[in-house]
Each structure stands twice: as C-alpha cells, then as structure tokens.
Amino acid sequence: MTAAAAADLLPATRNALALLLLAMADDEFVIGFSDSEWTGIAPILEEDVAMSSLAQDELGHAQALYRLLAELVDDGRDADGIAYDRPPEGYYHARLLDHPRGDWAQTILRRYLYDTADSIRLEALAGSSFAPLAALVGKIRREERYHLMHAQTWLERLALAAGEPRDRLLDALSRLGPDAGTVLTPLPTETALLMADITSATAAEQEARWRASIAPTFERLRLPPIPPTADPGTARTSHSAAFHELHAELSSVRRIDPGATW
C-alpha cells in the first residue's frame, strides 16, 4: 500500500519516517555545509567550482528533506526552523560527518565513503511506500551519480600517487574508517520502517551491500579495508567539538536576526 501524504500514515509509521528524514536531512546538511568551507580555497580552481556545486546540491537535498519532515510533523516549524533552530546536541547526523573537513584527502575520502553509503540507502528507498519520498529520492539519485564519479576519480588519483597524497589518504582512512559505517547504522525505529515498506532493506543488509560495493575499489587501490563500526550505539547521538564549532558557524546568521525573511 502506498501513502500519498502524511495523513495516510499510522502514528508509529509517521514517527519512524520522521526519524529517517531527520537522519538523512542532517547528513546532507552537515556534509554540505562542511564541504562548502572549500569555496574559495580549494587546491585548484576546477575543484573550487566542483566542491561548491557539490555542497550546493547537498544543501538543496537537505532543504527538500526538511520540507518533507516539516509537513510530516506539522508542529509549526518550517524547513529553516528545523535546520537551524536546534542546539548542537539535537542534530542526528552520522558520526562520519562529525569530523572536520580536514585536508583535501580527508574531504575526498569522506565524500567517497558517504556517497557510496548514501547511494545504497537511496536505492533501498527508491520504491518507498511513502510516495513523496520515493519521488524525491528518484530525483536525488540522478544527481548523486555525478557526486559518485567525482569522489571515485579523486580517490584513485590520491591513492595511486606515491608519497604525500597517498600518505595523507591513509592517515585520513585511519581517522574516518571506524566511523565510516555510521551512515548505515540501524535507526531505533527500523522495524516500523520495514513493516510499512518505507524502505526495502534492513540497515544490516544495506551495510553489507555497501561494504561489498567498495571492496573491489579498495583492493585494487591496495587500501586497508574499512573496520567494523566503532560504538554503533551512539552513531548519531554523540557529537564532537568540531561539530559544535561548525554548528556555531552555520547558525550564526540565523541567530543574529531570528525569523528574518530573505
């Protein structure tokens, strides 16, 4: 059975869907904002254009997801209210995105790990019973192909360059690796999502697909495999000092003049 609007959903399904939308929107919002820090200072002009465009895409995806969420919870907040008017502890993004953008190798590696995991998550939502989400996911997946190609190209370039580029990539992998799987750590409401056919696969199935999908690339590039997720119980709830700094920055204009219209 498909649902055309929030009103067609059972309360338990609605709550589970709200948590999924919040996780996805916060993921896109935080990586989009973090990557936008490269605007003006990327290593080469072409990448300044590319990273700015990628970040803009992600912020747009976050906005569309926050809009769906605002309609679903219907508590008077609009997309901007949800995006900006929360304390840092209230954000629900995966811990992979809690790391600072770091150097170029860390940014590229995180983009690769996130984009490959996100594409598996989106694939499982493509036939979602919640029609507005299925439609949005269909649109987002077309755009994400460009992101995947960009990340794959740069990962290979860094991994195959001997010396500093590869060393920096390996350093980044040691920092990000234990948190890479957090994008696909099960949500506490997973059972309700599966029962209502919001998603078609368990998080464990999705994580297995993701690990299998990147293994050939990691083997070919002689990169060590991604370790099991560290501390999955707090995958989306413990936030770093780096994220608190990012939050202070991203919400600063909003706090200067709450409720301003643009």
Partner 1 sequence: MSAISPDRIVAQAAIDAEDVRAALADIPDPELPVVSIAELGILGRVELGPDRVRVELHPTFVACPAIDLIRATVLDRLAEIVPGRPADVAFVFDPPWTSDRIGAQGRARLAAAGIAPPGPTAPGGLLVLDAIVECPRCGSPRTRLENLFGPTQCRTIRWCPDCREPFEAVKSV
Which residues would be at the binding site for partner 1 (CB under 8 A)?
A: 46, 49-50, 52-54, 56-61, 63-64, 131, 134-136, 138-143, 145-146, 149-150
CB of 208 to partner 1, least distance (A): 23
CB of 34 to partner 1, least distance (A): 16
CB of 103 to partner 1, least distance (A): 21
Task: For residues 216 and 194, give the distance between their C-alpha atoms in angstroms, rounded to a whole number.
Answer: 29
CB of 145 to partner 1, least distance (A): 6
* Residue 46 or 75 having the CB closest to partner 1: 46
* Residue 136 or 192 having the CB closest to partner 1: 136
CB of 168 to partner 1, least distance (A): 23
CB of 51 to partner 1, least distance (A): 8
* Residue 5 or 12 having the CB closest to partner 1: 5
Task: For residues 181 and 211, give the distance between their C-alpha atoms in angstroms, rounded to a whole number.
Answer: 9
* Residue 87 or 261 having the CB closest to partner 1: 261
CB of 113 to partner 1, least distance (A): 19
* Residue 61 or 239 having the CB closest to partner 1: 61
* Residue 126 or 161 having the CB closest to partner 1: 126
* Residue 81 or 132 having the CB closest to partner 1: 132
Task: For residues 232 and 240, give the distance between their C-alpha atoms in angstroms, rounded to a whole number.
Answer: 15
| Amino acid found at 20 | L
Task: For residues 172 and 95, give the distance between their C-alpha atoms in angstroms, rounded to a whole number.
Answer: 15
